[in-house]
Amino acid sequence: MGEGEQPGEDDEDRRYATQQAGTQLGEVRNQTQVNVHKRIVVMDLSEDRSEPRVFINPEFEPLTDEMEQYQEGCLSVPGFYENVDRPQKVKVKALDRDGKPYELIAEGLLAVCIQHECDHLNGKLFVDYLSNLKRDRIKKKLEKLHRQNA
Ligand SMILES: [Zn+2]
């Protein structure tokens, strides 16, 4: 998906996009060096995977009350895709790869991805946005899968 291009309305597109966002595109690293605690997200939303964006210690704040719904998936919860509402526009503050602070206004898919990945850094998964009922159902299925693969 190109810069500034909005994700398609097509459900398959959205599903694919956020599936990618939750897996290959988003990569979370918790790095601890000597007295330096860095939380790094590397994300590449470009079509040819040539524009990795680096977010060190990212934080975001919503810029709108308007919510947008995407079907999200995640490596941490393999095989499950659920609709999640998130603010559709956020301001992201982070350090770049040289440690210089920068700000970015993110909308659409990028906004979804950065929120998803920031959540990871805070130990939160997209299933935490779902109803208890849905979350429990997913948990049970995952536990069953783990037992089968054990
Ligand atoms: Zn994820």
Q: What is the pLDDT of residue 58?
A: 94
Residue 100 CA to ligand 1 center (angstroms) comes to 26
Do 119 and 102 contact (CB within 8 A), yes or no?
A: no
How many whole angstroms separate alpha carbon 138 and alpha carbon 147?
14
The CB density around residue 94, as the number of other CB atoms within 10 Å, is: 22
With tokens 């680096």, the residue in question is 54
Q: What is the pLDDT of residue 10?
A: 54
Q: What is the pLDDT of residue 64?
A: 96
Mean pLDDT split into 10-residue runs, the chain, 150 residues? 45 53 50 61 87 91 95 89 95 94 94 92 91 93 85
Do 19 and 81 contact (CB within 8 A), yes or no?
A: yes
9 is catalytic: no
Residue 133 CA to ligand 1 center (angstroms) comes to 20
Residue 116 CA to ligand 1 center (angstroms) comes to 6
Q: Which of 9, 61, 107, 117 is catalytic?
A: 117
Q: What is the pLDDT of residue 23?
A: 44
The closest alpha carbon to 113, from 55, 51, 57, 66, belongs to: 55
Task: Quick: pLDDT tens for 99-142.
Answer: 999 999 999 989 999 999 999 888 899 999 999 999 999 999 98
Residue 70 CA to ligand 1 center (angstroms) comes to 13
Q: Which residues contact 110 (CB under 8 A, 6 or more apart)?
A: 43, 45
Residue 113 CA to ligand 1 center (angstroms) comes to 9
Q: What is the pLDDT of residue 78?
A: 86
Q: What is the pLDDT of residue 148?
A: 85
